[in-house]
Amino acid sequence: MEPIKVTIGDKTFWHQMLSDGVATIITADEKLKKTLYGLHRRFPDAVQLMYDGEDLCAEDFEGTTTFFLDAKNVELFIKPGLDNVGIRVYEDDPDYEVVDHEDGEVI
């Protein structure tokens, strides 16, 4: 499956489902990277980076950065009329299922 490009206002990112409930977000948008990194610090199991340790510096976030998300517990959303994306992280499994409308499978 090819990454899906999303543009909301001046923010652009790509997302893609990998395997075993892991998805990626790839972005060069500074605000989105800072938000995702903040979530990584609060929820390291739900939002992960390729980096190990705590010795990150500004150069590590130059250009495009890839985040790995627990697709079951991380949700992106937009509010109609706004040019922003929101991110919600569930500390417990969400109490609903998401169904793929193409094949009817729970994702």
Report pLDDT digits (tens) over 60-98: 677 888 999 999 899 988 878 877 788 889 877 655 556
**Residues β-bridged to residue 17:** 23
- pTM here is 0.76
Report pLDDT digits (tens) over 9-43: 888 999 999 988 899 999 999 888 888 888 988 99
Pairing of strands 85-89, 4-8: unpaired
Cβ contacts of 79 within 8 Å, gap of 6 or more: 86
